[in-house]
């Protein structure tokens, strides 16, 4: 369908994966530093090691997975399925609304004037 749309979706997915990996490494480092009561130098080395691991995970895990999972064909098929489901739900809601409007009970039967 649209190459620009697919690129945007793929970019958002990749950035979200990178953020998840980074936050996971930061939480792990914080937990290790607090649990082991590491000194300043060892804490710095641990943060440096976590940064390197995070970059490696991003390069060798997140980006290839995002490319494989979010291919153009899969994105187009997924968007077509969501579009079909949304159209079907919209038509069902419109039919239900029309039925409710037709079968709505008159709150004042026999009244000469109503506020409708």
47-90 confidence digits (pLDDT tens): 999 999 999 999 999 999 998 888 889 988 988 999 999 999 99
Residue 113 forms part of a structural domain: no
How far apart are alpha carbons 19 and 40 in whole angstroms?
25
What is the residue-wise DSSP string for 33-102?
HHHHT--HHHHHHHHHHHHHHHHHHIIIIIHHHHHHHT-HHHHHHHHHHHHHHHHHHHHHHHHHHHHHHH
Residue 109 forms part of a structural domain: no
b vs e for 19-33, b when ≥16 Cβ sit within 10 Å of the residue's Cβ? eebbeebeeebeeee
Residue 65 forms part of a structural domain: yes
Residue 44 forms part of a structural domain: yes
Mean pLDDT, the chain, rounded, equals: 87
- Same domain for 5 and 62, yes or no, is yes
Domain span at residue 96?
Answer: 72-101
For residue 106, pLDDT over 70 is answered with: no
Between the alpha carbon of residue 17 and those of residues 21, 62, 67, 88, 94, the distances in Å are 6, 6, 12, 32, 39
- Same domain for 59 and 6, yes or no, is yes
Q: What whole-number percentage of the chain has pLDDT above 90?
A: 49
- Same domain for 15 and 64, yes or no, is yes
Please name which of 69, 62, 61, 70 lies closest in space to residue 6, comparing C-alpha atoms: 70
- Same domain for 6 and 55, yes or no, is yes
Q: What's the average model confidence in pLDDT over 2-25?
A: 91
The number of domains in the chain is 2
- Same domain for 20 and 6, yes or no, is yes
Lowest mean pLDDT among 27-31, 44-48, 69-73, 102-106: 102-106
* pLDDT recorded at residue 5: 87
- Same domain for 63 and 81, yes or no, is no
For residue 100, pLDDT over 90 is answered with: no
């Amino acid at each position: 369908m649209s190459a620009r749309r697919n690129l945007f979706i793929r970019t958002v997915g990749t950035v979200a994966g990178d953020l998840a990996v980074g936050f996971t490494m930061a939480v792990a480092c914080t937990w290790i530093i607090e649990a082991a009561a590491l000194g300043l130098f060892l804490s710095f080395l641990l943060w440096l090691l976590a940064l390197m691991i995070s970059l490696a995970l991003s390069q060798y895990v997140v980006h290839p997975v995002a490319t494989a999972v979010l291919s153009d064909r899969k994105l187009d098929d997924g968007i077509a399925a969501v579009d079909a489901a949304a159209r079907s739900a919209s038509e069902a809601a419109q039919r239900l609304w029309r039925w409710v409007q037709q079968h709505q009970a008159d709150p004042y039967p026999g009244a000469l004037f109503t506020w409708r």
